[in-house]
Amino acid sequence: MDYTRAFVKDVKRIVIKVGTAVVTRPDGRLAVGRLGTLCEQVKELNSQGFEVILVTSGAVGVGRQRLRYRKLVNSSFADLQKPQVELDGKACAAVGQSGLMALYDALFSQLDVTSSQLLVTDAEFKDPDFRKQLTQTVNSLLSLRVIPVFNENDAISTRKAPYEDSSGIFWDNDSLAALLSLELNVDLLVLLSDVEGLYSGPPGEPHSKIIHTYIKERHQVGITFGDKSRVGRGGMTAKVKAAVHAAYAGIPVIITSGFASDSIIKVLQGDRVGTLFHKDANLWVFPKEDGAREMAVSARNCSRRLQSLSSEERRMILLEIADALESNEKEILVENEADVIAAMQSGYEKSFISRLILKQGKILNLANSIRVLANMEDPIGHVLKKTEIADGLVLERTSCPLGVLMIIFESRPDALVQIASLAIRSGNGLLLKGGKEAMRSNTILHKIITGAIPETVGKKLIGLIASREEISDLLKLDDVIDLVIPRGSSKLVSQIKESTKIPVLGHADGICHIYVDKSADLEMAKRIILDAKTDYPAACNAIETLLLHKDLLHTVGLDNIIEDLREEGVTLYGGPRASLAFDISIASSFHHEYSSMACTIEIVDDVFSAIDHINQYGRLSVSKCVT
């Protein structure tokens, strides 16, 4: 949890304001899918004991769409040729309010949640008795776990120009939400918008970046707001005014996207989403705001200097890194041991810890691998294709560096060394984010590797990302970073793909298989199976499923394979046929990747059945076959 969001653990009562751009689609119709997702989040919060109050816009927009359609249906062709008069906003509000609330009621009813409607006007808040009664009513509804849904009653508002008048106690639903937050003594106000939060400039511009924490003294000037929302009244300007008003009166405020499926849940988990407004923000110590961009730009500048070196000069850098790793082996192992102890104390699985450990001799192996890479053919400058497109005009395709790579990996600190070496040999800048469980190992390895890079290139060629929060900032830098490579779970890959415009080189997860045919040399098969399962069970290419031809049942060779697996400590699970044949527990799923000393066994009729099984359950992994 970001320390600036630590206060959310004490939040109980929350006001959520939903903007018109969230509630409606571009054509004015209700965005039923987004509203459904919103109601599902509110349902989850309600069931967790949060007291949720909604303030919703959208009635005017819905009513305008309905009235335009009705006017079109009732108009003659001659009427349509005349200048069209803008529809009265109050009439639109009166028509749209019932439809808006009917949808909320229907959606909440499907989720077994009860909602209620409260329409208010600016003038009513001038009456102290009204305020008192309003608080009592809301408290009563919340005690019954009912969701109060507020909206300004534009249909009977006494203001002459409700879309422009900014006088009075409140003037739009953003300021109404801020007023209710103070009036009802809530713990947090969330303003949902059609963008992720407050940006330093119009969100569509390439150099605009999100402001995670608003500091009045720093951000009150210098922010350029984009065009007002396509609907609604004041867009981001109104939200910021309302947020500043509530925050400096003691109510924390977060502006975030209403288009994301879990934005409210993430806010209450303390994730660094949206823009936070807090009265104490000016007292907090923040990292440099442009740190992510500076890191990426530095890596790009250094990579250009690296690319100007000769192949021999880049080769010598790698040799220097290999020597530096060997010279500092003791220091590396000390830091790695500290990571391993911390991981064990945190209760990580043995297979996970196995990937974390740098065993004795691993540093020497890494150093030797770097030397092999250094002596390989230079990957830069190869002519891959040559085409003569006209007399004397030849078009060539030549291999060249990609630019700046951002690589996210988990658990294995040796991956940092491998990735950094490949990047240097290929002339690329690099941004690395390893798992927090290997933080000390990654830090010392990064220090040693960058220490061996000459000043003519620059140590900032390889940047080490310290926190998850920096990742979200870096993923917005599609003008600086050229490729993102997430190395981890399929969930991680999917999250990265959904969070950036930068090209992502992803991968699919897979279950590795070995099939043993009836004609196989069973002694050779045994050696292959034991090596593939027990040498490094935490590796992604260790076998997880062993398929056996049915004719091998009750043979001495197969019995020896099963016995040796058990002696090595492998826990065996069976498919429907194998569980009966070997009297072992049935596997929970053929899709399961153990990454540990466990394996699934199944009996198949022939090689074609084995191929069908692998196609169905192996996904995209490469399978092995012993014949």
The 10s digit of each residue's pLDDT in 396-431 is 999 999 999 999 887 789 999 999 999 999 999 999
- Based on the fold, state whether residues 79 and 115 are members of the same structural domain: yes
pLDDT means over runs of 10, the chain (627 residues): 80 93 79 90 94 89 73 66 67 82 91 93 88 95 95 72 52 88 94 88 72 76 49 69 91 92 90 89 64 88 94 95 94 92 85 82 93 93 90 90 90 90 95 89 94 94 84 86 83 80 79 92 93 82 91 91 92 92 90 85 94 82 40
Angle between helix 362-374 and helix 414-425 axes, rounded to 10 deg: 10
pLDDT at res. 338: 92
Tell me the C-alpha distance between 548 and 564, whole Å.
16
Tell whether 519 is covered by a domain.
yes
Give me the pLDDT at residue 421, please.
96
Residue 505 domain flag: no
Same domain, 268 and 125: yes
Mark whether 348 and 213 lie in a shared domain. no
49 and 116 assigned to the same domain: yes
pLDDT score at 243: 92
- The token duo for 498 is 């959904």
Q: Is residue 508 part of a domain?
A: no
Residue 489 in any domain: the answer is yes
Residue-level pLDDT at 424:
96
Kindly state whether residues 322 and 455 are assigned to the same domain. yes
CATH of the domain at 216: 3.40.1160.10
Residues 436 and 585 in one domain: no
**Any domain includes 48:** yes
Range of the domain at 329: 291-498
* Structural Rg of the chain based on CA atoms: 31
Residue ending a domain, among 252, 283, 314, is 283
Residues 440 and 301 in one domain: yes
Based on the domain organization, do 271 and 301 belong to the same domain? no
The crossing angle, in degrees rounded to 10, of helices 311-327 and 362-374 is: 170
Cβ(103)–Cβ(30) below 8 Å: yes
Indicate which CATH number applies to the domain containing 528.
3.40.309.10
Return the beta strands (E) in 84-227 as ranges: 115-120, 147-152, 188-193, 213-214
| Pairing, β 253-257 against β 275-277 | antiparallel
- Residues 357 and 420 reside in one and the same domain: yes
Distance (Å, rounded) from C-alpha 551 to C-alpha 563?
18
503 located within any domain? no
Please name which of 312, 428, 414, 328 lies closest in space to residue 369, comparing C-alpha atoms.
414
Residues 6+ apart with CB under 8 A from 500: 475, 476, 478, 484
What span, in angstroms and rounded, lies between the C-alpha atoms of 365 and 357? 14
Q: Which residue stretches of 475-521 are H helix?
A: 490-498
Residue 26: its pLDDT value, please? Answer: 76
User: d(Cα 122, Cα 100) in Å, to the nearest integer?
Assistant: 21
End position of a domain, from candidates 467, 498, 529: 498
How far apart (Å, rounded) are the C-alpha atoms in residues 389 and 395?
7
Place of tokens 């951002």: 406
In this predicted structure, what is the pLDDT of residue 624?
A: 39
**Residue 51's closest CA among 119, 140, 142, 137?**
142
Q: Are residues 336 and 468 in the same domain?
A: yes
* Contact in structure between 613 and 584 (CB atoms under 8 Å): no
Boundary (domain end) residue, out of 498, 527, 549: 498
Residue type, 89: G
Token pair, residue 594, equals 């153990």
Domain co-membership, 328 together with 440: yes
Which alpha helices (DSSP H) does 214-278 contain, by range? 216-219, 235-247, 263-268
Q: How far is CA 191 from the centre of its chain?
A: 21
| Structural domain contains residue 504 | no
Q: Using alpha carbons only, give the angle 100, 101, 103 rounded to the nearest 5 degrees.
A: 70
Other CB atoms within 10 A of residue 6 CB? 10
Instruction: Provide the 8-state DSSP code for 303.
Output: H
Residues 425, 373 contacting (CB under 8 angstroms): yes
Please tell me the distance from the alpha carbon of residue 329 to that of residue 615, in angstroms, as a whole number.
44
Distance, in Å, from the CA atom of 179 to the CA atom of 174, rounded to the nearest integer, reads 9
Q: What share of the chain is helix, strand, coil (3-state, %, to 5)?
A: 45, 15, 35
Q: In what order do the strands lie in the sheet with 404-409?
A: 462-464, 429-433, 404-409, 483-487
Strand order in the sheet with 598-604: 571-574, 598-604, 545-549, 513-516, 624-626
How many structural domains are present in the chain? 3
Of 515, 577, 573, nearest to 548 (Cα)?
515
Residue 158, domain member (yes or no): yes
For residue 80, what pLDDT is reported? Answer: 61
Residue 226 has a CB neighbour count (10 Å cut-off) of 16
pLDDT at position 236, please? 81
The CATH number covering residue 334 comes to 3.40.605.10
Whether the Cβ atoms of residue 515 and residue 610 lie closer than 8 Å to each other:
yes
The full length of the chain comes to: 627
Q: Are residues 196 and 274 in the same domain?
A: yes
Give the type of residue at 199. Y
